């Protein structure tokens, strides 16, 4: 039993150290030891060893491609896109008319980030958020915000959001994290 365990450990070391070549060499050596001689192996076993080698090469290539994609995503020095952003922009938007949808100013939102729209804390009415002017003017198709309530939108540009207010002077404040 200890001899079998030792042989298995040797096979694992050979596979890790030499990849496909190590696998074939180890399998060949174990097979010859089991047969008790250096006799050639049969055709079915040879085909099996070749199939194992070919599938291992495919796995090695897939693993290498995956690791390269990860390095490309985070950068070779580990300072890629997985860091938190270093900056943000914020602004206050005050609609100029009651119950009229108004388009937000254009601010690009980096991929993977959100636009946060919050109803200003001193508001008396309801602020409606929607993807179009008609929707912003329709309480049944817009998202309502009361004072201090917020919504987070994953959109490409803040101008894709429209705002309507039920009380003149009410506003929203917005924030977007920015890549530098």
CATH number at residue 168: 2.60.120.770
Question: Do 66 and 91 lie in a common domain?
Answer: no
Higher-pLDDT residue of 16 and 167 is: 167
User: Is residue 82, in this structure, part of any structural domain at all?
Assistant: no
66 pLDDT band (50/70/90 cuts)? confident
Residues 99 and 159 in one domain: yes
Domain of residue 55, residue span: 2-74
Greater confidence (117 vs 54) lies with 117
Does residue 119 share a domain with residue 161? yes
Q: Is the pLDDT of residue 122 over 90?
A: yes
pLDDT band per the 50, 70, 90 thresholds, residue 166: very high
Mean pLDDT of 23-47: 65
State the pLDDT at residue 14. 42
Same domain? For 66 and 15 the reply is yes
At residue 15, the pLDDT reads 45
The answer to whether residue 94 scores a pLDDT higher than 70 is yes
Domain boundary among 23, 53, 74: 74
From the list 167, 162, 170, the residue with the least C-alpha distance to 101 is 162
121 Cβ contact partners less than 8 Å away, ≥ 6 residues apart: 147, 148
In this prediction, residues 13-36 reach a mean pLDDT of: 58
In sequence order, what are the beta bridge partners of 157?
108
Distance between CA atoms of residues 128 and 137, nearest Å:
8
Tell which of 15, 47, 74 closes a domain: 74
- The residue with greater pLDDT, 47 or 159, is 159
* Structural domain count, the chain: 2
- Residues 45 and 103 grouped into a single domain: no
User: What rounded mean pLDDT belongs to the chain?
Assistant: 80
Residues 104 and 46 in one domain: no
The residue from 74, 97, 121 where one domain ends is 74
pLDDT at 24: 63
Helices (H), the chain: 2-35, 43-74, 133-136
Indicate whether 79 belongs to any domain. Answer: no
Residues 92 and 69 in one domain: no
What does the pLDDT read at residue 17?
43
- The pLDDT-based confidence of 50 (bands split at 50, 70, 90) is confident
Same domain, 58 and 94: no
- 17 & 91 share domain: no
Return all residues near 167 (Cβ < 8 A) that are at least 6 apart. 98, 123, 124, 125, 126
| 90, pLDDT greater than 80 | yes
Together in a domain, 48 and 17: yes
Mean pLDDT (whole number) for 110-135? 95
């Amino acid at each position: 039993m200890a001899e079998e365990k030792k042989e298995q450990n040797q096979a694992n070391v050979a596979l890790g150290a030499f990849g496909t070549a190590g696998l074939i060499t180890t399998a060949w050596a174990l097979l010859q030891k089991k047969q008790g001689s250096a006799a050639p192996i049969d055709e079915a076993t040879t085909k099996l060893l070749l199939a194992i080698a070919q599938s291992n090469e495919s796995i090695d290539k897939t693993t290498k491609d995956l690791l390269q994609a990860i390095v490309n995503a985070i950068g070779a020095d580990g300072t890629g896109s997985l860091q938190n952003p270093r900056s943000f922009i914020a602004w206050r938007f005050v609609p100029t008319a009651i119950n009229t949808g108004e388009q937000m100013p254009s601010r690009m939102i980096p991929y993977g980030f959100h636009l946060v729209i919050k109803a200003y804390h001193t508001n008396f009415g309801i602020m409606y958020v929607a993807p179009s002017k008609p929707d912003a003017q329709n309480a049944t198709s817009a998202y309502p915000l009361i004072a201090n309530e917020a919504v987070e939108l994953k959109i490409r540009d803040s101008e894709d959001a429209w705002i309507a207010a039920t009380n003149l002077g009410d506003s929203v404040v917005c924030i977007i994290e920015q890549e530098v």
